[in-house]
Amino acid sequence: MPKFHSKQLVTVIVIIVLFIINTQAQEKFSISKNDSLSLYETYISINSKDNIFPSSYKNGLLYSSANESNFYRLLYSDLKSKPIKIKLPRKYQSGAVATFQDEIYVTATTKYVDSFGVFNLAIYKGVIEDFKVKNLKVVPICSTDYSYEDPAISKDGNTMVVVTNENGQYHLLELKRNDNNEWEKGDIIYITHPIFKIINPTMYNENTIYFSSNMHMGELKSLTYKKVDGEIKVVKKDYKSGPFNIYKTVRKNGMWQLPIKVNELNSEFDELGVIFETEKTGFLTTYRFSNTDNIYYFELK
């Protein structure tokens, strides 16, 4: 066995400890397997709770978290060590953020209050540097009469998808970056029924979008009747709430198709969003474990 001087011995011990820590950080702990999907714990899910829908940033994830807090904060995790809080110049709404190079897009309240006393939401563009967000300004396509939230941006930075209630119904709206580096409205991708929600879209590629929604053909909760021209007619149908599931919509021959449920990513619990690292791997936000929303790594078979 070789002999070491004290300084050399300390160096060897440090190297061994770092190797062990790194190995443990990269080791995958399986928590669920079936014929189509394997789910694994992440550093985030092991060490905290109330974490929702991440987006890829640098070599880690940006995500919303209410862990040990009464409100959601924006955090960054390299999936190996304690997360870093992202400093924002205004109140941030929980949900998706989008980044492209040094650009960051977040959802925040506007100063406009509707007739119900609720603040509308808007997409704000800023610059992210050293985990600080600067120069947040509202994206001009956002009208104060409606809400815009949950931005998702393409890998080339030229397309963005947002959720909006323009025209009274929530839908996915495509935005295109023009030659002046400004966003313009493009296609309406999908409009849901007014009683259902759309959250956390992600752009798999320019012709494929994943999102979460509680749309379903569920059981009726109540009917509202009204006398019209002397006849009693049903004027409103309320359905019982269903779980959120992951859906996918694709564009064929220039037309966006009706969304289909991605069965391999869903369960009887809420599935709040998915992002992909490769065709078969990525991160899933789900409520199916520990009675809390959290972020897990997945592998499709």
Q: What is the pLDDT of residues 36-79, one digit of tens each?
A: 999 999 999 999 999 999 999 999 999 999 998 888 999 999 99
Given pLDDT bands bounded at 50, 70 and 90, which one contains residue 193? confident
What's the confidence (pLDDT) of residue 253? 93
Query: How many C-beta neighbours within 10 Å does residue 125 have?
Result: 18
What are the domain boundaries of the chain?
39-300
Q: Domain 39-300: give its CATH superfamily.
A: Glycosyl hydrolase domain; family 43 (2.115.10.20)
| pLDDT over 70 at 126, yes or no | yes
Nearest-angstrom CA–CA distance, 72 and 69: 7
Mean pLDDT of 243-259: 95
- In degrees and rounded to multiples of 5, residue 143 shows phi and psi of -90, 145
CA–CA distance, 163 with 265 (Å, rounded to integer): 21
Q: Which of 3 and 128 is assigned the larger pLDDT?
A: 128
Which stretch of 86-100, 156-170, 202-216, 264-278 has the lowest confidence by average pLDDT?
86-100
Rounded CA-CA distance 93/199 in Å is 13
pTM reported for the whole predicted model = 0.83
Instruction: List the single range of 115-119, 136-140, 184-188, 200-204 with lowest mean pLDDT.
Output: 115-119
**pLDDT classification of 12: cutoffs 50, 70, 90:** very low
> Residue 54 burial (CB < 10 Å; 0-12/13-18/19+)?
buried
**Cα–Cα dist 177/157, whole Å:** 8
3 confidence band (pLDDT: 50, 70, 90)? low
Is residue 215 very low, low, confident or very high in pLDDT (cuts 50, 70, 90)? confident
